[in-house]
Amino acid sequence: MGDNDVWQGTLALMILRTLESMGPRHGYGIARRVEQISGDQLIVQYGTLYPALLKLVQQGYIASEWGASDHNRRARFYKLTRAGRRQIEKESQRWEKAAAILACFSSPAEESL
Amino acid sequence: MRRLRALLVRLWGLPRRNREDREFSEELQSHLQMHVDDNLRCGMSPEQARRVALLKLGGIEATTQAYRDHNTLPFCETLCQDLRYALRQFGHNPGFTTTVILTLALSIGANTAIFSIVNALLLKSLPYPHPERMGAIYTRVTGAQPWDERHHLDGEQWELLRDNVPALMPAISGTRPSGVNLESGSHVQYVQSGRISAHYLDVLGIQPVIGRNFSEAEDVAHGPKLVIVSYGVWKNTLGENPRVLGQSVRLKGELYTVIGVLPDGATTPLNADLYTAIQGSRTGEGSGTNFDCITRLRDGATWQQADAQINQAWSLRANKYELDDNPGGQVMYYSVPLQRGETDPLRPQVLSLMLAAGLILLIACANLAGLTLVRVLRRTPEIATRLALGASRWRIQKQLWTENLVLAVAGGAAGVGAGFVALPGLLRLLPEHFLPVASVSLDRGVLLFALALSIATSVLFGMLPALTTRKLDLRSAIASREAIGRDRIHLRQVLITSEVALTVILLAASGLLVRSLIHLQTLPPGFNPSGVMTARASLDNVRYHDGAVFRKLLDDSTSAMRHIAGVTQAAVGLSLPYERALNTGGLDIDDGPEAGRKVLTAEVYTTPDYFAALQIPILQGRAFTDEDGPETQHVAIVNQTFAREFFHGDAVGHHVDKGTLVVGVVSDVAMAPGLHAIAPLATEETMYVPARQMDARQFALLHVWFQPSWIVRTAHPIEGLTGQMQRALASVDPTLPFSGFYRMEDLLAKTLAMQRIEVALLGTIAGLALILSTVGIFSLVANIVAQRTREIGIRMALGSTIREAIVNVGAPGLRAAAVGLSLGLLVSAAVLRALRSALYGVGVYDTPTLATVVGVLVAVSLIATAIPALRIARIDPARTLREE
């Protein structure tokens, strides 16, 4: 479960990034894209994806509307809002910083020992 | 910020929950379908494609639930459920619901109405700018006879305060407005005139809409005659003339120049229709402490500085009267907020009313706690079932509290409604200008108070039932048919005991006040009040500063009134029995055992027939006659108290006031005391002098303070008497209207207004308490009967008599009432001593009152017990057994 916790927190950023690069997408498309990018290391279930999407909608970072999919299925499409674009910047910086700090701990410099 | 947004979106989602749910399941379906499509494209069989997709994606139901929890607020959702459930429950129990809401409406209504007066008097700030910088001056005297009250100023103090206290802007006024006649054209109008110093309106922060305030140069003795009128007078009497400044109006028989018009709705503590300059000095009115004072702190100064300066300035006085009867004492002056200064005299009454209203609320809570307890216990099987089916105890508690809250809020709303209805009635009880505030309203503060009260009530009465369900034992609760155990009845008995005890206190208190009022109203008046009509007119008019004109007015008008058919006597007096009389200080006792003493007395000028018209018995000597004129020996008649106090009973033939001969002694009459305020109605040393021998120089001041009364005694009721009296007066002076007509009963009622209000309010509250207690006892016994029908049926089948059964069932109610009664009497013995200052002619431990209280409570408890207990007679043992 520990793995899952980390990636729950990052899922929001992954969704935002996906929508930024791919344009409007439905839930299934977002899930597949996240799985693909992670080299199928991650498995996106309903139970994690949809609450995350809902939270982003409620926060106003993404908006949703109904449309038709590539194969003409009715689906709800999500797209990035302006607030969402700004949020990507902030979130990315936060994660880069966090990752950099963590990197220091996983390969500590010799002289500090 | 983002969180708030999310919360709002979720709240918004509440009502559209169903559509959201539908859309989400559609979304999930399409997601699943797309996954299956992809799997199919990868070459799986349709079954396999679906199975793999489902496995990978996890449970659909759990996801839907998680999604819904995020989409709306689950807490609110259950709250809505609880609310709906509560409303349904109340719909099923209309009797219970009505009882609760009515109880709350009465108790919260009483509290709301009384609190709105507390609010207007003590809490809301005065309607002036920066009310916190406005003050009144108090005097604190320590020593053998300490006192501490609002200070009235004499002329010397006023001048020192005005000139030597730079921290304050002070202003003075007469203690109350006086009735005067305002003539404009041929029209004479009777208006209230206040006398104020320069800066009085500045202290209040009122700026005239037209014109200006009195200047310091105008506010000096013998200064110009100027008047500032209220907006109402300007509009109604002066025709809204925008060029009114500099116009003259005839006031008190003299021409006054209008220099200002107050803004619409502006009020002053005097509440007058127009204002003239008081022009206070050290002589005349200013030789005594006849001025009221208000102050405003100047910018940059502090109250400490102001108080220091006041004490410094007033230490320079020549006349330090405060310590006259208190040698060795210390005097200290200090400022208090004007609000307190204005409302201090009413504070104890208002607060004790609020306390009584609070007791009502407690009684109501005890009742409601009993009722809701029964209701919750009746629902024990239902609650136990819900617990058994997996509801959490928290969820059940939440449900119960929601119900209480709904009840309390509904009751609170009904209470505000009741208060809204009751408040005007309450205010109508009060005499006009009784409260020193312009209006009393149900404003936001009062509504908040009512809301807080409702919620507090719901907590108080909901606590007990909620606590009992916490200890619910599931197994026995489901199995048991008996809804209420013995311990619950004990609990309710305790509740009833306490409410009966509170009721006893309220009943005893109001009983004592009723007894005081009866005592005051049936005091021997010392004269014959029936068959008398009196009328008052303002002689505050420069024309009547002339002694001859004054004497002619009295002679001619009384003689004209004597000619009205049916009138047997007509007279004039400066004041009447039941009223406050003029106080005269420093009166010399010339001879007799107390010779040389200077005394304080009430003084009344009268025409010769005053005693005959009022039928005040003359005990020694003679009445005044027409021969007692300005040129003859000055004479006086004194009352019994005067004769006893100053001449040891034998007054006729002695002299007072440097040569005035006492020619008679008359019986004491009941009057509103002005010298020693020990009771609202008493007898004081009184000296009567002939109106014809009055020194005309006194009239200017005397008739500002007092309006003399014309008195006629009739042999039988006369149709249109007041009109004929007015015509008789007009035949002598057509510009002199009577300001009002009063029978002696009216004057008595006016003097005892405060006592009547106290009785009416506390009586109502005690009545409410009695009703609530009755309902409490009644419902306890009724519940016991309902629960034990089966048991009683079996007992009766086994040979018990109906009598025994009734006694058995009624006993808990009666026992609770009896314990409550004794407890209440015990507590009353301690608490009622606080009432002592409001009681006259009756002790705190008044046997008739206490006996009545006991009698009423015993009777009421018996009835409240008997009615439900008698239902037992209708129990048919055979049927009860069959039901078994």
What are the tens digits of pLDDT across the range B58-83? 777 777 777 777 666 666 667 777 88
Q: What is the mean pLDDT of residues B568-591?
A: 91
The pair of structure tokens assigned to B172 is 């003075």
Q: How far is B354 from chain A, CA to nearest CA, in Å?
A: 50
More confident residue, B43 or B325: B43
Burial annotation B641-667 (CB, 10 A radius, 16+ → b, else e): bbbbbbbeeebbebbbbeebbbbbbbb
pLDDT at B717 > cutoff 70:
yes
pLDDT of residue A113: 44
Q: Does A54 touch chain B (CB under 8 A)?
A: yes
Kindly report the three-state secondary structure assignment for every residue of B192-210.
EEEEECCCHHHHHCCCCCE
Distances (CA, A) of A4 to A35, A41, A42, B61: 14, 12, 9, 21
**Residue position matching structure tokens 């043992």:** B877
More confident residue, A33 or B884: A33
Would the CB atoms of A47 and B31 count as touching at under 8 Å? no
Give the closest of A50, A71, A74 to B67, CB-based: A50
Residue in chain A nearest B62 by alpha carbon = A47
d(CA B343, CA B437): 9
- Residue B163, H or E segment: helix B155-164
Domain carrying residue A28: 2-108
pLDDT at B111 > cutoff 70:
yes
Kindly report the three-state secondary structure assignment for every residue of B81-149.
HHHHHHHHHHHHCHHHHHHHHHHHHHHHHHHHHHHHHHHHHHHCCCCCCCHHHEEEEEEEEECCCCEEE
Give the closest of A26, A45, A54 to B58, CB-based: A45
pLDDT of residue B16: 67
Average pLDDT of chain B is 86
pLDDT of residue B13: 64
Cα torsion angle, B24, B29, B34, B38, sign: positive
pLDDT band at A4 (very low <50, low <70, confident <90, very high): very low
Write down the pTM of the prediction: 0.71
Q: Does A45 touch chain B (CB under 8 A)?
A: yes
Give the closest of B23, B24, B31 to A28, CB-based: B31
d(CA B873, CA B884): 19
Give the closest of B10, B37, B56 to A71, CB-based: B37
Of B377-386, B432-441, B649-658, the range with the lowest mean pLDDT is B432-441
Would the CB atoms of B30 and A47 count as touching at under 8 Å? no
In a domain, A113, yes or no: no
pLDDT tens column, B142-158: 877 777 888 888 888 99
pLDDT of residue B2: 66
H helix intervals, A41-81:
46-59
Q: Which residues of B touch A69 (CB under 8 A)?
A: 30, 34
Distances (CA, A) of B110 to B54, B356, B674, B769: 66, 10, 35, 11
Distances (CA, A) of B11 to B14, B17, B23, B67, B463: 5, 10, 18, 15, 30
pLDDT at B680 > cutoff 60:
yes
The pair of structure tokens assigned to A38 is 């992670």
Name the maximum alpha-carbon separation found in chain A: 61
In a domain, A78, yes or no: yes
* Strand positions, DSSP E, B235-322: 248-251, 254-261, 274-277, 291-297
Distances (CA, A) of B642 to B470, B576, B580, B656: 74, 17, 16, 11
pLDDT of residue B14: 63
Are B526 and B668 spatial neighbours (Cβ–Cβ below 8 Å)? yes
Cα torsion angle, B645, B648, B650, B652, sign: negative
Q: How far is A90 from chain B, CA to nearest CA, in Å?
A: 14
ipTM of the complex: 0.81
pLDDT band at A73 (very low <50, low <70, confident <90, very high): confident
Beta bridge partners of B248: B257
Residue in chain B nearest A71 by alpha carbon = B34
pLDDT of residue B486: 57
Quick one: DSSP state of residue A70?
A: T
Would the CB atoms of B60 and A59 count as touching at under 8 Å? no
In a domain, A86, yes or no: yes
More confident residue, B690 or B288: B690
Give the closest of B10, B34, B63 to A47, CB-based: B63
Q: What is the mean pLDDT of residues B759-770?
A: 89
pLDDT at A3 > cutoff 50:
no
Give the strand pairing for A74-80 and A62-68.
antiparallel
Q: Which residues of B touch A45 (CB under 8 A)?
A: 56-58, 63
pLDDT band at A2 (very low <50, low <70, confident <90, very high): very low
Would the CB atoms of A50 and B37 count as touching at under 8 Å? no
Neighbours of B49 (CB within 10 A): 19
In a domain, A38, yes or no: yes
Q: What is the mean pLDDT of residues B308-332?
A: 80
Are B796 and B875 spatial neighbours (Cβ–Cβ below 8 Å)? yes
pLDDT at B842 > cutoff 50:
yes
Residue in chain B nearest A46 by alpha carbon = B57
pLDDT of residue B382: 81
pLDDT band at B197 (very low <50, low <70, confident <90, very high): very high
Residue in chain A nearest B9 by alpha carbon = A58
pLDDT tens column, B604-634: 999 999 999 999 999 999 999 999 999 999 9
Which residues of B touch chain A, with CB atoms under 8 Å apart? 2, 5-6, 9-10, 23-24, 26-28, 30-31, 33-35, 37-38, 56-60, 62-63, 66-67, 70-71
Closest to B338 in 3D by CA, of B430, B203, B208, B435: B203
Residues 65..94 of A with a Cβ closer than 8 Å to B: which? 69, 71, 73-76
Q: What is the mean pLDDT of residues B429-437?
A: 68
Please give the tally of structural domains in chain A.
1
pLDDT tens column, B459-501: 888 887 777 777 766 666 666 555 455 567 788 888 889 989 9
In a domain, A60, yes or no: yes
Of A86-90, B130-134, B788-792, the range with the lowest mean pLDDT is B788-792
CATH number at residue A51: 1.10.10.10
Q: Which residues of A touch B28 (CB under 8 A)?
A: 46, 50
Give the amino acid at B330: Q
d(CA B431, CA B755): 12
Q: Report the percentage of chain B scoring pLDDT > 90.
A: 30
Q: How far is A45 from chain B, CA to nearest CA, in Å?
A: 5
Highest mean pLDDT among B1-10, B19-28, B172-181: B172-181
Three-state secondary-structure class, residue B20: helix
pLDDT of residue A112: 47
* Domain limits, chain B: 2-72, 76-130+345-483, 155-318, 498-523+744-884, 542-735
pLDDT band at B93 (very low <50, low <70, confident <90, very high): confident
Are B609 and B569 spatial neighbours (Cβ–Cβ below 8 Å)? yes
In a domain, A99, yes or no: yes
In a domain, A93, yes or no: yes
